């Protein structure tokens, strides 16, 4: 029973202000808690990436953003999930950790040392090029 499942996209946002990148510290699940990521989440069926990323960052950070260019390559998360990052510009609000443990702004040097989730580490060279 059941249709062959399509891969589901997870979108993540790179907010960069004054040569610093906004990172969010995961509160859950236990195996990822404490590690840092680009904030985002799953695209709903029928939803555009850009719409999903605007929705997720409003829910998670209480900011309104405009979505720009993709950053780096898609990352296969396994389990039918593909992770994709986009540059985003904040148009209103100040980021607040509504669903994360904490937020932090990092420069290029700090990005190399912070405990990023494994998937996001693949974007470090692309992100450094933007900082």
3-state SS of the chain: helix, strand, coil percent to 5? 25, 40, 35
Give the range of 15-23, 65-73, 88-96, 116-124 binding ligand CDP by CB under 6 A: 116-124
Q: Are 39 and 60 in contact (CB under 8 A)?
A: yes
Q: Nearest distance from residue 47's CB to ligand CDP, in Å?
A: 11
Q: Are 15 and 22 in contact (CB under 8 A)?
A: yes
Determine, following the binding rule CB under 6 A, whether residue 124 of this chain makes contact with ligand CDP: no
Q: Are 61 and 105 in contact (CB under 8 A)?
A: no
Determine, following the binding rule CB under 6 A, whether residue 57 of this chain makes contact with ligand CDP: no
CA 28 centroid distance within chain: 15
- Give the x/- contact pattern for ligand CDP in 63-102, rule: CB under 6 A: --------------x---x-x-------------------
Nearer residue to ligand CDP within complex by CB, 1 or 79 = 79
């Amino acid at each position: 029973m059941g249709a062959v499942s399509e891969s589901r996209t997870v979108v993540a946002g790179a907010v960069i202000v004054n040569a610093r990148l906004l990172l969010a510290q995961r509160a859950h699940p236990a195996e990822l808690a404490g590690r840092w990521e680009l904030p985002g989440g799953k695209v709903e069926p029928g939803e555009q990436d850009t719409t999903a990323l605007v929705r997720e960052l409003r829910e998670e950070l209480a900011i309104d953003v405009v979505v720009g260019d993709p950053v780096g390559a898609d990352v296969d998360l396994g389990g039918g999930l593909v992770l994709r990052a986009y540059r985003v510009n904040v148009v209103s609000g100040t980021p607040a950790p509504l669903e994360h443990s904490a937020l932090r702004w990092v420069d290029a040097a700090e990005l190399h040392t912070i405990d990023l989730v494994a998937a996001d580490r693949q974007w470090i060279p692309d992100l450094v090029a933007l900082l």
